[in-house]
Amino acid sequence: MSLALTVDGVPYEVPDVPGNANLADVLRHHLGLTATKDACYEGRCGSCSVLLGGVLVTSCTVLAADVTEPVVTAAGVGDVAGPSDVQRALVEAGGVQCGFCIPGMVMAATDLLARNPDPTEDDVRRGLAGNLCRCTGYGRIVEAVLTAARGRAST
Amino acid sequence: MAHADDPVLLAGGTDLMVAVNGRRRNPGTFVSLRHAADLTGLSADVDTVRIGAMTSYAELAARPPELATLPMLADLAGRLGTPAQRNAGTIGGGVGSARWNGDAIAALVALGARLDLVTATGSRELAIEDWLDRERRGGTDVLRSILVRVPTGPQVWLRVAERATAAEASATCALVVDVQRRTVRCVIGSVARSPIRALAAEALLTDALDWTRPVAGAALCRDFGRAVRREVVARTTYRVGAEHRRHLAGVLAGRALTRALGEAATAQGIA
């Protein structure tokens, strides 16, 4: 089947998509948009997190054919030339080691700060609870999100 | 939410898409319920709350005013899965997939929920316990909403899992005490193929309580937990053994009663 998707503000026509394909596979394998990672395919690890119509979801558990809202990935939040405050804080805090989980972390943190601009550490840990990192032990990631929140409060 | 394999109803995807990704299911046709207006929204009257099947767990966890009389469901919705799963997952989807370790099912059984089903010729209501019996479901029925008669007493839902997030529960306990009707419902989830109502323990508690001032002392809470443990027939999975699940069920039930009707709880006017 052919799908019409808007990803990071860019409209796409995606031909030859299997009817049961999930959104993560379409982003990565049909569109070549590899900012979104794929790992567990069970919605548990959070590496494929995106915003769908402004709502945080794991794209591996979203039926691509059911998508009508705009999709925002970590590449749409910011890039190397113009990182978002969350992305910059992650780099500066040393929150990025192997980096595989980071696009999902960026999406979960971006969603959290949009809903709760003044989170406690506990709020951040709960907000990121669906995103697994096997490298950092989370401390610096949490610190980065709190730093980003403080930065927003001071501007 | 109908159990016919093809076409299959898509009500969030947090269960179904996992099965599709794992090639355990391969539907030829998906019917998305995301935009079905009849299946959304909550309403409440004097004694009944109606929850649209497509209400997400995140919506329930936000404690909308219609859910004020069912705090157990809001607690549950805020604790299951991950933030993304709570955004996508729906309570109707949870009922429809009826996974043996789905968190919502046991709580809804404890609340005595009834299901409002749209059938090929009209509609019908079915007790959730009957829905769990596949023979009685009706292959083409679609779950429109969940109806819960509000209990007049404490409701407690407890869960234990290997980790707080994104891990199936090793056991859950939902305890609902209806003081006005003098009934107790205690349901253990995530230990067997279907939720287990601890009927003997319920009877023990119903007989033991002074219903004019229902307070459960430490001995009664302990005995209640032991009675629940005796009733539970649990399954072993590769991480959690049957005996451990039975132990957890008893501990959770004792704690649930302490929280619901223990001396400290009743002194604070919770009950």
Percent over 90 (pLDDT), chain A:
97
Alpha helix segments (H runs only) across chain A: 23-25, 74-77, 85-92, 102-115, 121-127, 139-153
Sorted by sequence, the CB contacts under 8 Å of residue B133 that are 6+ apart come out as none
pLDDT digits (tens, 9 = 90+) for A67-115: 999 999 999 999 999 999 999 999 999 999 999 999 999 999 999 999 9
Mean pLDDT score of chain A: 96
Copy the structure tokens of residue A75.
């590449």
Minimal Cβ distance to B14: which of A61, A131, A132: A61
First to last CA, chain B: 35
Between chains, do A56 and B20 touch, taking CB under 8 Å as contact? no
Quote ipTM for the complex: 0.95
Minimal Cβ distance to B26: which of A20, A66, A129: A20
Closest chain B residue to A47, measured at CA: B84
- Count CB atoms within 10 A of the CB of residue B42: 18
Between chains, do A56 and B85 touch, taking CB under 8 Å as contact? no
Is residue B242's pLDDT more than 60? yes
Cα–Cα distance for residue pair A155/A27, rounded to 1 Å: 34
B22 interaction partners in chain A (CB closer than 8 Å): 41-42
φ, ψ dihedrals at A116, nearest 5°: -140, 90
pLDDT digits (tens, 9 = 90+) for A15-41: 999 999 999 999 999 999 999 999 999
Between chains, do B10 and A58 touch, taking CB under 8 Å as contact? no
Q: What's the pTM?
A: 0.93
Quick one: DSSP state of residue A30?
Answer: I
Percent over 70 (pLDDT), chain A:
100
Query: What are the percentages of helix, strand and coil residues in chain B, rounded to 5?
Result: 40, 25, 40
The answer to whether B5 contacts chain A (CB < 8 Å) is: no
Cα–Cα distance for residue pair B246/B255, rounded to 1 Å: 14
Nearest to B169 by CA among B230, B75, B79, B59: B79
Cα–Cα distance for residue pair A89/B186, rounded to 1 Å: 48
Angle of CA points B255, B183, B52, to nearest 5°:
85
pLDDT digits (tens, 9 = 90+) for B170-183: 999 999 999 999 99
Average pLDDT over residues B246-261: 96
Is residue B90's pLDDT more than 60? yes
Copy the structure tokens of residue B151.
């209990």
Between chains, do B28 and A19 touch, taking CB under 8 Å as contact? yes
Q: What is the pLDDT of residue B266?
A: 74
Average pLDDT over residues A112-135: 96
Is residue B166's pLDDT more than 90? no
| CA-based nearest distance A118→chain B, Å | 18
Average pLDDT over residues B194-204: 96
Between chains, do A130 and B18 touch, taking CB under 8 Å as contact? no
Between chains, do A63 and B30 touch, taking CB under 8 Å as contact? yes
Copy the structure tokens of residue B181.
């009707």
B88 interaction partners in chain A (CB closer than 8 Å): 43, 55, 57-58, 61-62
φ, ψ dihedrals at B79, nearest 5°: -110, -20
B93 interaction partners in chain A (CB closer than 8 Å): none
Residue scoring higher pLDDT (B101 or B158): B158
Q: What is the pLDDT of residue A136?
A: 85
Alpha helix segments (H runs only) across chain B: 16-21, 57-61, 71-79, 83-88, 91-97, 103-110, 128-131, 199-208, 218-231, 242-261, 263-267
pLDDT digits (tens, 9 = 90+) for B204-221: 999 999 999 999 999 999
Sorted by sequence, the CB contacts under 8 Å of residue B250 that are 6+ apart come out as B225, B226, B228, B229, B232
Contact B54, B40 (CB under 8 A): yes
Copy the structure tokens of residue B1.
């939410």
Q: What is the pLDDT of residue A74?
A: 98
| CA-based nearest distance A129→chain B, Å | 6
| CA-based nearest distance A137→chain B, Å | 15
